[in-house]
Chains A and B, each alone.
Chain A
Amino acid sequence: MSARRTHVSAIVNGDPAEFLTDPGATLLDALRDTLGLTGSKEGCGSGDCGACSVILDGRLVCSCLVLAVEAEGRRVETIEGMADGGRLHPLQQKFLEHAALQCGFCTPGLLVASKALLEVNPDPTESEARYWLAGNLCRCTGYDKIIRAVLDAAAELRQEPAKRRETV
Protein backbone atom coordinates (compact mmCIF):
# COMPACT_ATOMS: atom_id res chain seq x y z
CA MET A 1 0.00 0.00 0.00
CA SER A 2 1.72 3.22 0.99
CA ALA A 3 5.48 3.47 0.91
CA ARG A 4 7.57 3.72 4.03
CA ARG A 5 7.41 7.09 5.73
CA THR A 6 10.54 9.22 5.49
CA HIS A 7 12.17 11.32 8.16
CA VAL A 8 12.94 14.87 7.16
CA SER A 9 15.08 17.45 8.94
CA ALA A 10 14.75 21.00 7.75
CA ILE A 11 15.00 24.54 9.08
CA VAL A 12 11.57 26.15 9.17
CA ASN A 13 11.39 29.86 9.94
CA GLY A 14 14.83 29.70 11.46
CA ASP A 15 14.18 26.77 13.79
CA PRO A 16 15.06 23.10 13.29
CA ALA A 17 12.00 21.06 12.34
CA GLU A 18 11.79 17.30 12.08
CA PHE A 19 8.88 15.32 10.79
CA LEU A 20 7.80 12.08 9.16
CA THR A 21 6.18 12.19 5.77
CA ASP A 22 4.90 9.96 3.00
CA PRO A 23 7.35 10.33 0.10
CA GLY A 24 4.50 11.46 -2.10
CA ALA A 25 3.28 14.22 0.19
CA THR A 26 3.96 17.82 -0.74
CA LEU A 27 5.78 20.37 1.37
CA LEU A 28 2.43 22.15 1.69
CA ASP A 29 0.89 18.99 3.18
CA ALA A 30 3.77 18.70 5.63
CA LEU A 31 3.60 22.35 6.67
CA ARG A 32 -0.17 22.33 7.20
CA ASP A 33 -0.99 18.83 8.42
CA THR A 34 2.18 17.71 10.13
CA LEU A 35 3.80 20.91 11.42
CA GLY A 36 0.51 22.72 12.08
CA LEU A 37 1.59 25.76 10.08
CA THR A 38 -1.73 26.44 8.40
CA GLY A 39 -0.85 29.94 7.23
CA SER A 40 0.14 28.62 3.78
CA LYS A 41 -3.05 27.77 1.92
CA GLU A 42 -4.08 25.35 -0.80
CA GLY A 43 -6.04 27.19 -3.47
CA CYS A 44 -5.48 24.88 -6.41
CA GLY A 45 -2.85 22.21 -5.72
CA SER A 46 -1.33 22.72 -9.17
CA GLY A 47 0.93 25.75 -8.85
CA ASP A 48 -1.48 28.14 -10.55
CA CYS A 49 -2.62 30.36 -7.68
CA GLY A 50 0.35 31.03 -5.37
CA ALA A 51 -1.63 30.75 -2.13
CA CYS A 52 0.89 28.15 -0.92
CA SER A 53 3.96 30.33 -1.59
CA VAL A 54 7.00 29.81 0.64
CA ILE A 55 10.68 30.65 0.29
CA LEU A 56 12.91 27.58 -0.08
CA ASP A 57 16.65 28.14 0.26
CA GLY A 58 16.04 31.75 -0.66
CA ARG A 59 13.88 31.05 -3.72
CA LEU A 60 10.16 31.80 -3.96
CA VAL A 61 8.31 28.56 -4.76
CA CYS A 62 4.86 27.01 -4.61
CA SER A 63 5.00 24.52 -1.74
CA CYS A 64 2.34 22.42 -3.47
CA LEU A 65 4.90 21.73 -6.19
CA VAL A 66 7.67 20.64 -3.80
CA LEU A 67 7.74 17.20 -2.22
CA ALA A 68 8.14 17.32 1.54
CA VAL A 69 11.16 15.04 1.25
CA GLU A 70 12.88 17.59 -0.95
CA ALA A 71 13.04 19.92 2.04
CA GLU A 72 15.68 17.70 3.67
CA GLY A 73 18.49 19.93 4.89
CA ARG A 74 16.94 23.03 3.37
CA ARG A 75 15.63 26.32 4.77
CA VAL A 76 11.93 27.01 4.52
CA GLU A 77 10.41 30.41 5.25
CA THR A 78 6.64 30.67 5.60
CA ILE A 79 4.21 33.46 6.48
CA GLU A 80 4.46 32.43 10.10
CA GLY A 81 8.10 33.56 10.16
CA MET A 82 7.58 36.93 8.59
CA ALA A 83 6.84 39.03 11.66
CA ASP A 84 9.69 39.63 14.06
CA GLY A 85 8.15 38.30 17.25
CA GLY A 86 5.28 40.67 17.87
CA ARG A 87 6.48 43.25 15.37
CA LEU A 88 4.88 43.08 11.94
CA HIS A 89 7.11 43.23 8.87
CA PRO A 90 6.62 46.51 6.96
CA LEU A 91 4.88 44.59 4.19
CA GLN A 92 2.38 43.21 6.68
CA GLN A 93 1.84 46.63 8.18
CA LYS A 94 1.38 48.30 4.79
CA PHE A 95 -1.09 45.63 3.69
CA LEU A 96 -3.20 46.56 6.70
CA GLU A 97 -2.84 50.31 6.21
CA HIS A 98 -3.72 50.15 2.53
CA ALA A 99 -6.61 47.72 3.07
CA ALA A 100 -4.80 45.40 0.66
CA LEU A 101 -6.77 42.39 1.84
CA GLN A 102 -10.48 41.58 1.90
CA CYS A 103 -11.04 37.90 2.57
CA GLY A 104 -7.37 37.45 3.39
CA PHE A 105 -6.97 33.97 1.88
CA CYS A 106 -4.40 34.96 -0.75
CA THR A 107 -2.66 37.30 1.68
CA PRO A 108 -0.06 34.94 3.19
CA GLY A 109 1.10 33.88 -0.28
CA LEU A 110 1.19 37.46 -1.49
CA LEU A 111 3.16 38.64 1.51
CA VAL A 112 5.77 35.90 1.10
CA ALA A 113 6.00 36.59 -2.63
CA SER A 114 6.32 40.33 -2.03
CA LYS A 115 9.05 39.74 0.52
CA ALA A 116 10.92 37.65 -2.03
CA LEU A 117 10.49 40.43 -4.60
CA LEU A 118 11.95 43.11 -2.37
CA GLU A 119 14.90 40.89 -1.52
CA VAL A 120 15.95 40.75 -5.18
CA ASN A 121 14.62 44.13 -6.28
CA PRO A 122 14.32 46.73 -3.51
CA ASP A 123 13.00 49.40 -5.87
CA PRO A 124 10.54 47.74 -8.23
CA THR A 125 8.40 49.69 -10.66
CA GLU A 126 4.64 49.09 -10.64
CA SER A 127 5.02 46.88 -13.70
CA GLU A 128 7.86 44.86 -12.19
CA ALA A 129 5.82 44.28 -9.05
CA ARG A 130 2.77 43.21 -11.06
CA TYR A 131 4.73 40.73 -13.19
CA TRP A 132 6.59 39.27 -10.22
CA LEU A 133 3.28 38.78 -8.38
CA ALA A 134 1.38 37.43 -11.41
CA GLY A 135 1.57 33.97 -9.89
CA ASN A 136 -0.47 35.06 -6.86
CA LEU A 137 -4.16 35.16 -7.68
CA CYS A 138 -6.44 37.49 -5.79
CA ARG A 139 -10.14 37.50 -6.55
CA CYS A 140 -11.26 40.12 -4.04
CA THR A 141 -9.13 43.24 -4.47
CA GLY A 142 -8.36 43.68 -8.16
CA TYR A 143 -4.69 44.02 -7.03
CA ASP A 144 -4.72 47.84 -6.87
CA LYS A 145 -4.24 48.21 -3.12
CA ILE A 146 -1.88 45.25 -2.99
CA ILE A 147 0.51 46.88 -5.45
CA ARG A 148 0.29 50.19 -3.60
CA ALA A 149 1.10 48.45 -0.32
CA VAL A 150 4.09 46.65 -1.83
CA LEU A 151 5.54 49.81 -3.38
CA ASP A 152 4.95 51.73 -0.14
CA ALA A 153 6.67 49.02 1.92
CA ALA A 154 9.55 48.99 -0.55
CA ALA A 155 10.00 52.72 -0.05
CA GLU A 156 9.99 52.31 3.71
CA LEU A 157 12.47 49.45 3.62
CA ARG A 158 14.82 51.47 1.43
CA GLN A 159 14.88 54.20 4.07
CA GLU A 160 15.84 52.00 6.98
CA PRO A 161 18.19 49.29 5.72
CA ALA A 162 19.85 48.52 9.04
CA LYS A 163 16.72 48.13 11.11
CA ARG A 164 14.56 45.73 9.14
CA ARG A 165 16.66 43.23 7.24
CA GLU A 166 15.60 39.65 7.97
CA THR A 167 18.24 37.20 9.09
CA VAL A 168 17.48 33.52 8.91
Chain B
Amino acid sequence: MSQVDFIAPTSADQAVQALLAGGGGARPLGGGTDLLVQLRSGRLAAGLIVDLKRIPEAIGVRKVDGGFVIGAATPGIALGEHRALGLAWPGVVEAANLIGSTQVQGRASMAGNLCNASPAADSVPALVAARATCLIVGPAGRRMAPAETIVVGPGRTSLAPGEFVLEIHLPPRPLRAADAYLRSIPRTEMDIAVVGAAVNLTLDAAGIVTDAHVALGAVAPTVLLVPDAAAALVGSPLDADALARLDQAARAACRPISDKRGTAEFRTKIAGVLARRAATLAHGRAGKRV
Protein backbone atom coordinates (compact mmCIF):
# COMPACT_ATOMS: atom_id res chain seq x y z
CA MET B 1 0.00 0.00 0.00
CA SER B 2 2.96 2.33 0.04
CA GLN B 3 2.45 3.54 -3.49
CA VAL B 4 -0.45 5.75 -2.44
CA ASP B 5 -0.49 9.46 -1.86
CA PHE B 6 -2.90 11.20 0.47
CA ILE B 7 -4.64 14.54 0.53
CA ALA B 8 -7.23 15.97 2.93
CA PRO B 9 -9.06 18.83 1.18
CA THR B 10 -11.09 21.26 3.27
CA SER B 11 -13.76 22.03 0.68
CA ALA B 12 -15.86 20.03 -1.74
CA ASP B 13 -14.41 21.85 -4.76
CA GLN B 14 -10.87 21.07 -3.63
CA ALA B 15 -11.89 17.43 -3.36
CA VAL B 16 -13.25 17.47 -6.92
CA GLN B 17 -9.99 18.95 -8.20
CA ALA B 18 -7.97 16.34 -6.35
CA LEU B 19 -10.08 13.47 -7.68
CA LEU B 20 -9.76 14.75 -11.23
CA ALA B 21 -6.04 15.26 -10.90
CA GLY B 22 -5.63 11.73 -9.52
CA GLY B 23 -7.41 10.25 -12.52
CA GLY B 24 -8.42 6.61 -12.43
CA GLY B 25 -6.29 5.95 -9.36
CA ALA B 26 -7.98 8.51 -7.11
CA ARG B 27 -10.42 7.31 -4.47
CA PRO B 28 -12.53 9.30 -2.03
CA LEU B 29 -12.08 8.22 1.61
CA GLY B 30 -14.92 8.29 4.12
CA GLY B 31 -14.58 5.90 7.05
CA GLY B 32 -12.09 3.72 5.22
CA THR B 33 -13.52 0.46 6.51
CA ASP B 34 -13.95 -0.91 2.98
CA LEU B 35 -11.27 1.07 1.17
CA LEU B 36 -8.38 0.10 3.44
CA VAL B 37 -9.34 -3.57 3.39
CA GLN B 38 -9.46 -3.57 -0.41
CA LEU B 39 -6.19 -1.71 -0.79
CA ARG B 40 -4.44 -4.12 1.56
CA SER B 41 -5.80 -7.23 -0.12
CA GLY B 42 -4.80 -5.93 -3.53
CA ARG B 43 -8.36 -5.96 -4.77
CA LEU B 44 -8.03 -2.24 -5.41
CA ALA B 45 -5.01 -0.20 -6.40
CA ALA B 46 -4.98 3.47 -5.58
CA GLY B 47 -2.62 6.26 -6.46
CA LEU B 48 -4.28 9.02 -4.49
CA ILE B 49 -6.59 8.87 -1.49
CA VAL B 50 -8.79 11.94 -1.07
CA ASP B 51 -9.99 12.21 2.52
CA LEU B 52 -13.45 13.78 2.77
CA LYS B 53 -13.52 14.11 6.55
CA ARG B 54 -12.11 17.64 6.72
CA ILE B 55 -14.87 19.02 4.45
CA PRO B 56 -17.40 20.63 6.81
CA GLU B 57 -20.53 19.49 4.91
CA ALA B 58 -19.28 15.91 4.94
CA ILE B 59 -19.69 15.42 8.69
CA GLY B 60 -22.87 15.76 10.70
CA VAL B 61 -26.63 15.37 10.67
CA ARG B 62 -28.72 18.47 10.01
CA LYS B 63 -32.46 19.05 9.92
CA VAL B 64 -33.26 20.92 6.73
CA ASP B 65 -36.74 21.82 5.39
CA GLY B 66 -38.41 19.13 7.43
CA GLY B 67 -36.06 16.45 6.22
CA PHE B 68 -32.53 15.42 7.16
CA VAL B 69 -29.15 16.01 5.51
CA ILE B 70 -26.41 13.57 6.47
CA GLY B 71 -22.78 14.30 5.63
CA ALA B 72 -21.18 11.61 3.50
CA ALA B 73 -18.44 10.82 6.01
CA THR B 74 -20.62 10.81 9.12
CA PRO B 75 -19.86 7.61 11.04
CA GLY B 76 -22.72 5.23 11.77
CA ILE B 77 -22.39 5.61 15.50
CA ALA B 78 -23.16 9.34 15.20
CA LEU B 79 -26.41 8.50 13.44
CA GLY B 80 -27.43 6.35 16.37
CA GLU B 81 -26.73 9.23 18.71
CA HIS B 82 -29.03 11.62 16.82
CA ARG B 83 -32.36 11.41 18.60
CA ALA B 84 -34.57 13.09 16.02
CA LEU B 85 -33.12 11.05 13.17
CA GLY B 86 -33.71 7.85 15.11
CA LEU B 87 -37.32 8.79 15.76
CA ALA B 88 -38.08 9.68 12.16
CA TRP B 89 -36.02 6.96 10.46
CA PRO B 90 -35.45 4.05 12.86
CA GLY B 91 -34.96 1.67 9.94
CA VAL B 92 -32.26 3.75 8.26
CA VAL B 93 -30.44 4.20 11.54
CA GLU B 94 -30.64 0.56 12.58
CA ALA B 95 -29.44 -0.50 9.14
CA ALA B 96 -26.43 1.80 9.33
CA ASN B 97 -25.74 0.63 12.88
CA LEU B 98 -25.59 -2.99 11.76
CA ILE B 99 -22.55 -2.44 9.58
CA GLY B 100 -19.65 -4.30 11.19
CA SER B 101 -18.53 -3.97 14.77
CA THR B 102 -18.63 -1.05 17.19
CA GLN B 103 -15.14 -0.18 15.92
CA VAL B 104 -16.35 -0.14 12.33
CA GLN B 105 -19.33 1.94 13.44
CA GLY B 106 -16.91 4.56 14.70
CA ARG B 107 -15.82 5.17 11.10
CA ALA B 108 -18.10 3.63 8.46
CA SER B 109 -20.54 5.99 6.75
CA MET B 110 -23.74 5.32 4.82
CA ALA B 111 -22.43 7.10 1.75
CA GLY B 112 -19.32 4.97 1.83
CA ASN B 113 -21.44 1.86 2.26
CA LEU B 114 -23.56 2.94 -0.71
CA CYS B 115 -20.67 3.82 -3.01
CA ASN B 116 -18.77 0.64 -2.16
CA ALA B 117 -21.64 -0.94 -4.06
CA SER B 118 -21.68 -4.33 -2.42
CA PRO B 119 -24.88 -6.24 -3.18
CA ALA B 120 -25.12 -7.03 0.54
CA ALA B 121 -24.58 -3.52 1.92
CA ASP B 122 -26.72 -3.01 5.00
CA SER B 123 -27.62 0.67 4.70
CA VAL B 124 -28.66 0.60 1.07
CA PRO B 125 -32.01 -1.22 1.25
CA ALA B 126 -33.11 1.13 4.00
CA LEU B 127 -31.97 4.21 2.07
CA VAL B 128 -33.74 3.03 -1.06
CA ALA B 129 -36.95 2.22 0.80
CA ALA B 130 -36.71 5.64 2.45
CA ARG B 131 -36.50 7.26 -1.04
CA ALA B 132 -33.23 8.88 -0.04
CA THR B 133 -31.47 11.13 -2.54
CA CYS B 134 -27.77 11.96 -2.81
CA LEU B 135 -26.09 15.29 -3.36
CA ILE B 136 -23.30 14.60 -5.84
CA VAL B 137 -20.50 17.09 -6.38
CA GLY B 138 -18.34 16.96 -9.48
CA PRO B 139 -16.57 18.92 -12.20
CA ALA B 140 -19.92 19.80 -13.78
CA GLY B 141 -21.26 21.14 -10.50
CA ARG B 142 -23.80 19.71 -8.08
CA ARG B 143 -26.70 17.38 -8.80
CA MET B 144 -29.20 15.29 -6.86
CA ALA B 145 -29.84 11.63 -7.66
CA PRO B 146 -31.99 8.93 -6.02
CA ALA B 147 -29.94 6.52 -3.90
CA GLU B 148 -30.91 3.51 -5.99
CA THR B 149 -29.37 5.06 -9.12
CA ILE B 150 -25.90 5.26 -7.56
CA VAL B 151 -25.14 1.54 -7.66
CA VAL B 152 -25.15 -0.06 -11.12
CA GLY B 153 -23.53 -3.39 -10.30
CA PRO B 154 -21.32 -5.12 -7.74
CA GLY B 155 -18.49 -2.68 -7.02
CA ARG B 156 -19.64 -0.22 -9.72
CA THR B 157 -21.32 3.16 -9.37
CA SER B 158 -22.85 5.63 -11.82
CA LEU B 159 -20.53 8.41 -10.61
CA ALA B 160 -18.51 10.15 -13.31
CA PRO B 161 -14.77 10.86 -12.95
CA GLY B 162 -14.24 13.55 -10.31
CA GLU B 163 -17.68 13.03 -8.78
CA PHE B 164 -18.37 11.99 -5.22
CA VAL B 165 -21.38 11.91 -2.89
CA LEU B 166 -21.25 14.78 -0.41
CA GLU B 167 -24.57 14.41 1.36
CA ILE B 168 -27.48 11.99 1.75
CA HIS B 169 -30.91 13.59 1.97
CA LEU B 170 -33.92 12.04 3.64
CA PRO B 171 -37.34 13.47 2.77
CA PRO B 172 -39.71 15.00 5.33
CA ARG B 173 -41.75 12.50 7.26
CA PRO B 174 -45.54 12.45 7.36
CA LEU B 175 -47.33 11.40 10.52
CA ARG B 176 -47.65 7.68 11.12
CA ALA B 177 -44.67 6.80 8.96
CA ALA B 178 -41.90 4.50 10.03
CA ASP B 179 -39.38 2.13 8.56
CA ALA B 180 -37.50 -0.99 9.61
CA TYR B 181 -34.54 -2.99 8.41
CA LEU B 182 -33.77 -6.62 9.21
CA ARG B 183 -31.01 -8.85 7.99
CA SER B 184 -30.18 -12.53 8.24
CA ILE B 185 -26.68 -13.48 9.32
CA PRO B 186 -25.29 -16.78 10.64
CA ARG B 187 -23.89 -15.33 13.89
CA THR B 188 -25.39 -12.52 15.94
CA GLU B 189 -22.95 -9.86 14.73
CA MET B 190 -20.03 -9.16 12.43
CA ASP B 191 -21.32 -10.98 9.35
CA ILE B 192 -22.11 -9.65 5.89
CA ALA B 193 -25.87 -9.83 5.35
CA VAL B 194 -27.02 -13.03 3.69
CA VAL B 195 -30.33 -11.29 3.04
CA GLY B 196 -31.48 -7.77 3.98
CA ALA B 197 -35.02 -6.37 3.88
CA ALA B 198 -36.16 -2.80 4.42
CA VAL B 199 -39.78 -1.70 4.63
CA ASN B 200 -40.95 1.92 4.81
CA LEU B 201 -44.66 2.43 5.57
CA THR B 202 -47.11 5.26 6.00
CA LEU B 203 -50.45 4.57 7.73
CA ASP B 204 -53.68 6.47 7.94
CA ALA B 205 -55.51 7.12 11.21
CA ALA B 206 -57.22 3.72 10.96
CA GLY B 207 -53.91 1.85 10.62
CA ILE B 208 -54.34 1.14 6.90
CA VAL B 209 -51.18 1.31 4.82
CA THR B 210 -51.39 4.29 2.47
CA ASP B 211 -47.84 4.22 1.16
CA ALA B 212 -45.16 1.53 1.17
CA HIS B 213 -41.69 0.88 -0.17
CA VAL B 214 -39.93 -2.47 0.08
CA ALA B 215 -36.27 -2.97 -0.76
CA LEU B 216 -34.24 -6.19 -0.62
CA GLY B 217 -30.48 -6.58 -0.30
CA ALA B 218 -28.08 -9.43 -1.06
CA VAL B 219 -30.57 -11.19 -3.36
CA ALA B 220 -29.47 -9.60 -6.65
CA PRO B 221 -26.42 -7.78 -8.06
CA THR B 222 -27.89 -4.52 -6.74
CA VAL B 223 -30.51 -3.67 -4.15
CA LEU B 224 -34.00 -4.39 -5.41
CA LEU B 225 -36.83 -1.92 -4.95
CA VAL B 226 -39.86 -4.22 -5.23
CA PRO B 227 -43.02 -2.35 -6.31
CA ASP B 228 -45.11 -5.55 -6.26
CA ALA B 229 -44.19 -6.13 -2.66
CA ALA B 230 -45.19 -2.59 -1.80
CA ALA B 231 -48.43 -2.96 -3.73
CA ALA B 232 -49.28 -6.02 -1.67
CA LEU B 233 -49.35 -3.81 1.40
CA VAL B 234 -50.99 -0.63 0.23
CA GLY B 235 -54.64 -0.45 1.24
CA SER B 236 -54.30 -3.26 3.75
CA PRO B 237 -54.22 -3.25 7.56
CA LEU B 238 -51.12 -5.42 7.28
CA ASP B 239 -53.12 -8.53 8.08
CA ALA B 240 -51.97 -12.12 7.53
CA ASP B 241 -53.24 -12.05 3.97
CA ALA B 242 -51.25 -8.93 3.08
CA LEU B 243 -48.15 -10.37 4.72
CA ALA B 244 -48.50 -13.59 2.76
CA ARG B 245 -48.75 -11.62 -0.48
CA LEU B 246 -45.78 -9.54 0.56
CA ASP B 247 -43.78 -12.72 1.24
CA GLN B 248 -44.64 -14.08 -2.16
CA ALA B 249 -43.85 -10.86 -3.99
CA ALA B 250 -40.53 -10.52 -2.21
CA ARG B 251 -39.54 -14.06 -3.10
CA ALA B 252 -40.61 -13.64 -6.68
CA ALA B 253 -38.35 -10.62 -7.11
CA CYS B 254 -35.18 -12.35 -5.86
CA ARG B 255 -32.34 -13.25 -8.22
CA PRO B 256 -29.77 -14.44 -5.68
CA ILE B 257 -26.57 -16.43 -6.10
CA SER B 258 -25.30 -19.34 -4.05
CA ASP B 259 -22.00 -18.57 -2.36
CA LYS B 260 -20.09 -19.23 0.83
CA ARG B 261 -22.62 -17.14 2.74
CA GLY B 262 -25.83 -18.85 1.64
CA THR B 263 -27.61 -20.77 -1.07
CA ALA B 264 -29.93 -19.12 -3.56
CA GLU B 265 -32.83 -21.19 -2.30
CA PHE B 266 -32.22 -20.15 1.28
CA ARG B 267 -31.85 -16.49 0.38
CA THR B 268 -35.13 -16.49 -1.48
CA LYS B 269 -37.06 -18.03 1.41
CA ILE B 270 -35.51 -15.70 3.94
CA ALA B 271 -36.26 -12.65 1.81
CA GLY B 272 -39.93 -13.41 2.27
CA VAL B 273 -39.53 -14.01 5.99
CA LEU B 274 -37.60 -10.80 6.61
CA ALA B 275 -39.91 -8.71 4.45
CA ARG B 276 -42.84 -9.86 6.59
CA ARG B 277 -41.02 -9.24 9.83
CA ALA B 278 -39.71 -5.83 8.78
CA ALA B 279 -43.19 -4.80 7.64
CA THR B 280 -44.64 -5.84 11.00
CA LEU B 281 -41.94 -3.94 12.82
CA ALA B 282 -42.43 -0.81 10.72
CA HIS B 283 -46.19 -1.03 11.13
CA GLY B 284 -45.87 -1.15 14.91
CA ARG B 285 -43.51 1.81 14.92
CA ALA B 286 -45.67 3.84 12.55
CA GLY B 287 -48.71 3.33 14.71
CA LYS B 288 -46.89 5.06 17.55
CA ARG B 289 -45.81 8.06 15.51
CA VAL B 290 -48.58 10.59 15.75
Using a CB–CB cutoff of 8 Å, the interface residues on chain A facing chain B are 1-4, 6, 22-26, 45-48, 50, 53, 56, 59-62, 64-67, 69-70, 72, 113, 116-117, 131-136
Contact present for B51 and A70 (CB under 8 Å): yes
Contact present for B103 and A62 (CB under 8 Å): yes
Contact present for B103 and A46 (CB under 8 Å): no
How many residues of B are counted as interface, with CB atoms below 8 angstroms from the partner's CB atoms?
31
| One of A26, A70, A113 near B103 (C-beta < 8 A) | A113
Centre residue among B37, B75, B101, B188 by max chain A CB count within 10 A = B101
B104 close to chain A: CB less than 8 A: yes
Total residue contacts A-B, CB cutoff 8 A: 102
CA gap between A3 and B39 in the complex, in Å: 15
CA gap between A13 and B37 in the complex, in Å: 26
Known contacts A65-B32, A66-B32, A24 near B104 by CB under 8 Å? no
Contact present for A132 and B102 (CB under 8 Å): yes
Kindly list chain A residues whose C-beta atoms are within 8 Å of the C-beta of B32: 65-67, 70
| One of B6, B53, B104 near A62 (C-beta < 8 A) | B104
Q: Of all chain A residues, which has the CB nearest B106?
A: A59
Q: 10 A-B pairs, CB-CB below 8 angstroms?
A: A23-B49, A24-B1, A24-B2, A59-B106, A62-B33, A64-B36, A67-B6, A67-B32, A67-B49, A131-B188
Minimal beta-carbon separation of B28 from chain A (angstroms): 13
CA gap between A103 and B138 in the complex, in Å: 51
Kindly list chain B residues whose C-beta atoms are within 8 Å of the C-beta of A25: 1-2
Kindly list chain B residues whose C-beta atoms are within 8 Å of the C-beta of A64: 36
Contact present for A53 and B103 (CB under 8 Å): yes
Centre residue among A48, A50, A67, A117 by max chain B CB count within 10 A = A67
Contact present for B53 and A65 (CB under 8 Å): no
Q: Of all chain A residues, which has the CB nearest B38?
A: A46
| One of B37, B53, B189 near A70 (C-beta < 8 A) | B53
CA gap between A88 and B184 in the complex, in Å: 41
CA gap between A110 and B5 in the complex, in Å: 32
Kindly list chain A residues whose C-beta atoms are within 8 Å of the C-beta of B189: 131, 134-135
Centre residue among B6, B104, B189 by max chain A CB count within 10 A = B6
Minimal beta-carbon separation of B113 from chain A (angstroms): 14
Minimal beta-carbon separation of B94 from chain A (angstroms): 13
Kindly list chain A residues whose C-beta atoms are within 8 Å of the C-beta of B4: 3, 23-24
Minimal beta-carbon separation of A27 from chain B (angstroms): 10
Contact present for A134 and B3 (CB under 8 Å): no
Q: A45-B40, A56-B106 are in contact. List 5 more A-B contacts (CB 8 A).
A: A65-B37, A70-B32, A116-B102, A134-B101, A135-B190
CA gap between A59 and B190 in the complex, in Å: 18
Q: Of all chain B residues, which has the CB nearest A70?
A: B51
Known contacts A65-B32, A67-B36, A47 near B106 by CB under 8 Å? no
